[in-house]
Amino acid sequence: MHRAHHERLPVRRRRPVHLGTLPLGPGRTIAPDPRTTSVTTLSAPTERWGAPRREPLTMKSPDTVGFIGLGLQGTPIARRLVNAGHPVTVWNRTPAKTEPLLAEGAHEATSPAEVMEASDVVILCVTDAAAVEEVTFGPAGLASTATPGKLVVDHSSIRPQTARDLANRLATESGASWVDAPVSGGVAGATAGTLTIMAGGAQTDFDRADTLFAAYARRRTLIGPVGSGQTVKLCNQIIVATTSWGLAEATQVAAAAGLDPARLPEYLEGGLADSPLLRAYQPHMVAGHDTSLASIENLIKDLDSALDLARKTNCPVPLVAQVTELLRTAVKWTPPAEAGRFIDLLKGPQAQ
């Protein structure tokens, strides 16, 4: 694998703590060995797009890793990389968010440029396209120290054309490569290592990144060239948004008819309406509102991207347009970070 041919900047390191065995899925665990950088990864790479990978085997990763964006989802992803034995350098706009990972063995950088200089592969997990562009091409950004052989993997959700534009610009300015790799599965999936990754990029770049993906994603698929992963993520968000609104209406109907809406997932278990979304999201609509789910504002951002793509491809999406505006209205009245609260728009003033 490629490596930078220059000295790495000094980074601060703290003594790692022993974390015991790591869960890799039902019935499988691996104990981290501080003497190696062993990870679980997939069987021999496929040469055709669209074939998911799930079969694990053990191999050493030759790459050092940088990670930028330690939010609700980024932190557990970075933690799983550290716990799997990868050398990880982290940076975040809010430095305090790096502290837990430094205590577990990560290194600290003072800028995105330093992350790139210290790493072979840099993973981004930030809020939106503006944040991706800022850490990549802003002052002390990744591009300032990127060189041929370096790889940027972007887990952020941005528009497909934006991903292509950023990738082309980085390649032109530095010779570095780009894989767009949005994820699905939420905070719970990141914590458990069961995320789904939808990737776009060159086969060789995907194969290289996949030795890292295996630490936190159960299913990883190369869809096509750069931008393809973001397109599939928009399809995912369309399904999530429209289904979630249906869940809210079904919850309200159950309550209005005198049923206990909290038991709706139990009543529907095993039927056609049963789904991970029903089991994970509907309870947040009934009680116990919290901020463990992604913000509704992030979902609206992705739906706006989907609507933009639909208009440019002359594809009618009337339901998506309606649900987007319903959610946009809901966040005027309910806390967007408490994602399940959008149901309050259906409940009316008594919900306030």
Contact between residue 255 and residue 350 where contact means Cβ atoms under 8 Å apart: no
Q: How many residues does the chain have?
A: 352
- Pairwise CA distance, residues 128 & 143, whole Å: 18
Residues contacting residue 170 through CB under 8 Å, at least 6 positions apart? 136, 142, 143, 146, 152, 176, 177, 178
Catalytic position from the list 233, 312, 332, 347? 233
Q: For 249, what's the count of Cα atoms within 13 Å in the CB-facing half-sphere?
A: 8
Q: Is residue 60 left, alpha or beta, with left meaning phi > 0 and alpha meaning psi from -120 to 50?
A: beta
The reply to whether 332 belongs to the active site is no
Contact between residue 81 and residue 216 where contact means Cβ atoms under 8 Å apart: yes
Q: Residue 53 carries which DSSP code? A: B
Residue 120, both tokens: 């072979």
- Pairwise CA distance, residues 342 & 334, whole Å: 6
- Pairwise CA distance, residues 320 & 315, whole Å: 11
Contact between residue 294 and residue 280 where contact means Cβ atoms under 8 Å apart: no
Widest distance between CA atoms in the chain:
69
- Pairwise CA distance, residues 299 & 285, whole Å: 16
Q: Which residues are known catalytic residues?
A: 233
